[in-house]
Amino acid sequence: MNFYQQKWIDTLNNAHLQGWKISPQGDDIFIEMPNVTDIKLIRDNIPSTLAAMSLDIEEAKHRLKFIFHNGHEQFEYLLNPHEDDLNQE
């Protein structure tokens, strides 16, 4: 686990999100949310939420994938994508 990934895990855990389990998964972060969580609402707001949270993170930025799962659905959000990520069709 790199320092950037660990800092994000610490930052998310410090948000005290009730029932959320945040853990490393390889170079990614897996976030298990309660089954009743509205995943569409999370997906719609995650860019601005992570942008605000990133202000507290001073480590060098790395590619980091957040995997959100609520027991029924799952989506991924990529922070600091590599050029290869942007050129995929």
The pLDDT of residue 83 is: 83
The pLDDT value given to residue 1? 80
- Asked if the 3-86 domain carries CATH number 1.10.3470, the reply is no
Give domain limits for the chain: 3-86
Q: Checking phi first, is residue 71 left (phi over 0); if not, alpha (psi -120 to 50) or beta? A: left
| Tens-digit pLDDT string for the chain (89 aa) | 889 999 999 999 999 999 999 999 999 999 999 999 999 999 999 999 999 999 989 989 999 999 999 999 999 999 999 888 888 75
| H runs (alpha helix) in the chain | 3-14, 39-54, 83-86
